[in-house]
Amino acid sequence: MKKGRVTIHDIAKHLKLDSSTISRALNDSPRVKEKTKERIKQVAKELGYKPNVMAANLRTQTSKTIGVIVPWISRYFFSSAISGIEEVAYSKGYNVIICQSHDEYDREVANAYTLFANRVEGILTSVAMDTVKYEHFEQFIEEGIPMVFFDRHAPEVKACSVVIDDFNTAYKVTAHLIKQGNDRIAHFSGPGNLNIYKDRFNGYKKALEDYGKVFDPALVFESRLLIEDGIEGIKHLLSLPNRPDALFSSNDLAAIAAMKYISQHTEFSVPEDISVAGFSNSPSASIIEPGLTTVDQSGEEMGKIAAKRLIDEIKGEIDKCTNEIITVNSKIIVRESSVKKVAKLVK
């Protein structure tokens, strides 16, 4: 079992120097002569030396690793967030360990344990749908390990969150649907324990009120927003005696499932009979016909901002905050699915 077995001691023996000098040279310490540095680096290369970061980390009590817990890696929003996180982390010399909770509480707890055991220096999380208790996060706070939430946050935990303004964005989407002449706007909501869904719901409700529309609880369908939920939801809504003329879904997945169902199994058409808007701007939103009006919530940018913030906290350059909320800009993307008259789009 020979695993990158060349150590600084081997280099030391080779040059009849001490391993501490080698260590210093390799770390570009000013305390070693340029000439020796060169010799050392030369020999290091010759022998094929590769540093053992585990050993270094153990010694320095760091791990240069940050942990990420997301519900699903393969959801576009999360994979692009991870992409952004990765980008920032590697550029600052941090590795990233990624776990997925599958939106299950138990898995999230297990993930947190794993990350803790690996002595990550910080945690980035978007919490699982099932999560209603937060002790597994508290352990990090207690140990002084920085945490930053992104998108799905947990206000109960004393940590910073990177989010978009869900309330206002939802308000604007709803207002847009109203301005298109819709009266009865339905809403697909997610689990109420997640703030983002609560906020979107509240924004939707407020817009209805402000524009003098009736808020009808029967038009709100709460689910986990999966494909099957979208189908079930739209079936239900269309079967109502007084069916809605528009739908605002809290994610694209359910919105698209509903649109597909409408076009394949009903006589209705989008947007003429029912306008649809989603949330998150997934790639499919621009592929489906008619194009889905949605909210661009750049996962990559949120990931980058969250990672940057986390690393600043790790380095102590920013105080670990208590419940600070960083709001990232979101943008409504209006496409054909919500524009009643087939006119030019407002970009």
Partner DNA sequence: TTGTAGGCGTTATCAC
Partner DNA sequence: GTGATAACGCCTACAA
Footprint on this chain of its own copies (rule: CB under 8 A): 1-4, 50-55, 57-58, 61, 63, 72-74, 76, 79-80, 82-83, 86, 90, 95-100, 113-114, 116-119, 143-145, 256, 260, 283-284, 287-289, 300
Binding residue (CB under 7 A) for DNA from 45, 60, 341, 344: 60
Sign, CA dihedral 171-174-178-180, equals positive
Distance set, CA 313 to CA 23, 87, 151, 185 (Å): 28, 18, 19, 43
Q: Does 55 bind DNA (CB under 7 A)?
A: yes
Q: Is 93 in the site for DNA (CB under 7 A)?
A: no
Least separation, in Å, of the C-beta of 42 and its own copies? 18
- Interface residue with DNA among 14, 41, 47, 51 (CB under 7 A) is 51
User: Which of 59, 341, 344, 347 touches DNA (CB under 7 A)?
Assistant: 59
For DNA, give the closer residue by CB, 61 or 242.
61
Site for DNA contains 7 (CB under 7 A)? yes
Q: What's the CA gap between 174 and 340, in Å, rounded?
A: 14
Residue 19 binds which of DNA, its own copies, none (CB < 5-8 A, kind-dependent): DNA
Which two structure tokens, joined as six digits, stand for 257?
A: 């499932």
Q: Of 310, 331, 253, 224, nearest to 77 (Cα)? A: 253
Q: Give the distance from CA 158 to its chain's centroid.
A: 18
Instruction: Give the binding-site size for DNA (rule: CB under 7 A).
Output: 27
- Cβ atoms of 172 and 329 within 8 Å: the answer is no
Residue 264 to residue 241: CA distance in whole angstroms: 21
Q: Which residues contact 210 (CB under 8 A, 6 or more apart)?
A: 175
Bridge partners (DSSP) of residue 188 are 221, 249
Residue 13 interacting with DNA (CB under 7 A)? no
**Is-contact 271 264, C-beta < 8 A?**
no
Estimate the crossing angle of helix 8-15 against helix 19-26, to 10 degrees. 110
- Among its own copies, DNA, none, partner that 33 touches (CB below 5 to 8 angstroms by kind): DNA
Please, which residue, 168 or 284, has the CB nearer to its own copies?
A: 284
Instruction: State the nearest-atom distance from the C-beta of 296 to its own copies, in Å.
Output: 15
Task: Compute the least distance from the CB of residue 314 to its own copies, in Å.
Answer: 11
- What's the maximum distance between 2 C-alpha atoms anywhere in the chain? 90
Q: Which residue, chain included where needed, has tokens 């290369």?
A: 45
Least Å distance, CB 37 to DNA, is 7
Which one of DNA, its own copies, none interacts with residue 2, CB within 5 to 8 A by kind? its own copies
> Which one of the spans 30-38, 75-83, 122-130, 324-332 is the region binding DNA (CB under 7 A)?
30-38
Q: Does residue 52 bind DNA (CB under 7 A)?
A: yes
CB count, 10 Å around CB of 45?
9
In the 8-state DSSP scheme, what is residue 169? H
179 near DNA, judged by CB under 7 A: no
Query: 220: which 2 tokens?
Result: 């709100």
Contact between 61 and DNA per CB under 7 A: yes
In angstroms, give the least distance from the CB of 67 to DNA: 18
Distance CA 122, CA 313 (A): 8
Task: Closer to DNA by CB, 2 or 344: give it.
Answer: 2
Among 58, 132, 218, 287, binds DNA (CB under 7 A): 58
Helix (H, G, I), strand (E, B) or coil at 164: strand
Residue 318 sits in the site that holds DNA (CB under 7 A): no
DSSP state letters, 83-121: HHHHHHHHHTT-EEEEEE-TT-HHHHHHHHHHHHHTT-S
Q: What separation, in Å, do the N-terminal and C-terminal C-alpha atoms of the chain show?
A: 61
Contact status: 23 vs DNA (CB under 7 A): yes
Among 21, 280, 298, 330, binds DNA (CB under 7 A): 21
Binding residues vs DNA (CB under 7 A):
5, 7-9, 16-21, 23-24, 26-27, 31-33, 36, 49, 51-52, 55-56, 58-61
